[in-house]
């Protein structure tokens, strides 16, 4: 997680603009998604929270799907409670029903 954070901070502004939104294999997206996955697998709440905060700021359009899949993984892989709590927190924050009013 620390290494991916360093890479994230060192990334140039052009890449950070994330102009290729249609390309799921774009380096910026892969870096941030993998950073969040690595943090989740660390089972360390502080690292997970830090990576998820970066994810929602940089890729808000992909956050809910990531957290939905994370919730499925919590069950399938029997993650510890500390990791579950952070994933569930972000899932609940982003799983807000859309209404017209």
| Structural domain contains residue 12 | yes
| Structural domain contains residue 37 | yes
Cβ atoms of 67 and 95 within 8 Å: the answer is: yes
**pLDDT class of 30 with cuts at 50, 70, 90:** confident
Determine the angle formed by the axes of helices 2-10 and 45-58, rounding to 10 degrees.
30
The dihedral over CA atoms of 34, 59, 40, 42, expressed in degrees to the nearest 10, equals 60
Residue 89: domain span: 2-94
**Which pTM was predicted?**
0.80
| Structural domain contains residue 67 | yes
| Structural domain contains residue 101 | no
| Structural domain contains residue 38 | yes
| Structural domain contains residue 99 | no
pLDDT tens-digit map of 51-84: 999 999 989 999 999 999 999 998 888 899 999 9
What is the total count of domains within the chain? 1
């Amino acid at each position: 997680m620390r290494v991916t954070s360093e890479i994230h901070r060192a990334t140039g502004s052009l890449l950070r603009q994330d102009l290729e939104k249609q390309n799921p294999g774009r380096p910026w997206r892969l870096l941030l998604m993998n950073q969040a996955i690595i943090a989740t697998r660390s089972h360390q709440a502080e690292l997970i929270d830090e990576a998820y905060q970066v994810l929602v700021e940089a890729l808000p359009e992909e956050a809910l799907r990531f957290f939905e899949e994370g919730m499925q993984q919590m069950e399938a892989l029997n993650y510890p409670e500390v990791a579950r709590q952070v994933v569930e927190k972000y899932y609940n924050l982003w799983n807000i029903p859309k209404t017209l009013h």
